[in-house]
Structure 1
Amino acid sequence: MMSAVELSQFQKDKLRYYFKFLEPNEVKTIDIHSTDRLMERVYKYTSWTPDSPNAHQCLEVHTLLFEALFEETDKEDGKHKTAVQEDWYTFWSHVLSGCKTMKHFPVWLRLIPKTLFNMIDRNEDAVIEPKELKDFYKEMVRISTSETVLEKWSMKAYAAMTDNGHYPLNLDLFEQIFANFLFGRTPHGPGKYIFGCFKHDISSFQLIQQAPQDDDDDSSDMYANNEKRPRKFNVFFT
């Protein structure tokens, strides 16, 4: 049996939002039709055509994600191409076991933040803007609240992700934030906001440029907690 890491309650909270994003059915189960349901929403939201490069990559990545998830549930419980929320937690407890950086994941998993970034960046200018983040929360994450509250939450999330606007929310930074989403065991860091996990208070932090860099490091080798430092930014939490 694969080794597993015990997820913190905070990690489970974040993953619960991610699970909901992936279009479980009416009985809150991810099934063989979840990919189609998700992609239908993606096409509508982004205006991608099914044969566009972004749509093709998004479909491929999520197909592989669900295949890996179903393989895990079949081994664990004998289920056939279905997964409930607890299965989702178990899956990630195995995926994260022994991993410290995104580069330890298979290629398709490392592409997840890129597909999400492209989904959010609807004007395709390589930078996520506050309105794009708010629209993503409203239409794709489907946060149910008033427009005023959604605006407030979105601006808080954007400020957390960009150190109050000091850094552009480009793909490189978004990948680091996604790493924090997966690896972060406590409410520190902006990763919790990717799928709108606003139930935890924002902790103050600071991004500092020109962190020490290793020549053989690359932008995908990102440390997601304060035990290690990312390539381009130091992330400090208080």
Structure 2
Amino acid sequence: MWAYLCNSASGMSGFPIWVQLIPQIMFAVQVGQDKGNQITKQHLRNFYKVFSGKEGADLDALAENGYNTMTANGDYILDLANYELLFANFLLGKTIYGPGKYIFGCFDNSDLQRKYEIIHEVE
């Protein structure tokens, strides 16, 4: 089904409307009662704690790395427009190394402790 949905998608606007609504809902959940226009590091940390069940140093490292990756070390704010780009990266990305992997915070985070692996094509 995802292959069918992603066939011509190159961003969120290429998905059906029900898929386009998911990042908007997720964004609203993460900013919570603040009703702000951006996700802060604390918002992200709270979301990871509840959604992924991480705690302590693991939670702090995940929130720090996730926020830094999603905001280019704080150079960009994590507003809805940027969040939608990250969500599209999550859906369309082919490796675990894209910034979209931090949307939910519960997927393979082994790269926090080890270096990136170079993918070699074997002929």
For the superposition of Structure 1 and Structure 2, which TM-score range results when normalised by the shorter chain?
0.7 to 0.9
CA RMSD of aligned residues (A): 1.9
Contact 2:52 2:104 in 1 (8 A): no
Q: 1:92 to 1:115 in 2, by over 3 A?
A: same
Whole-angstrom distance in 1 between the partners of 2:6 and 2:61: 32
Work out whether 1:166 is the aligned partner of 2:75: yes
1:93: how far off? Answer: 2.5
Work out whether 1:137 is the aligned partner of 2:48: yes
The partner residue of 1:147 within 56, 71, 82 is 56
Aligned residue runs from structure 1 range 25-64, under 5 A: none
- Structure 1's unaligned 5+ residue stretches are 1-90, 205-238
Q: Identity across aligned pairs (percent)?
A: 36
Aligned residue runs from structure 1 range 175-214, under 5 A: 175-196=84-105, 197-201=107-111
Whole-angstrom distance in 2 between the partners of 1:111 and 1:132: 20
Q: 1:200 to 1:99 in 2, by over 3 A?
A: farther
Q: Following superposition, which runs of at least 4 residues in structure 1 exceed 3 angstroms of deviation?
A: none
Q: Which has the higher helix share?
A: 2
In the comparison of the two structures, how many residue pairs are matched? 112
Contact 1:187 1:200 in 2 (8 A): no
- Structure 2's unaligned 5+ residue stretches are 117-123
Q: TM-score, normalised by structure 1?
A: 0.44
Q: Which residue of 1 aligns with 2:121?
A: none
Q: TM-score, normalised by structure 2?
A: 0.81
Q: Which of the two has higher C-alpha Rg?
A: 1
Could you say which structure has the greater relative contact order, defined with CA pairs below 8 angstroms and 6 or more residues apart?
Answer: 2
Whole-angstrom distance in 2 between the partners of 1:198 and 1:134: 17
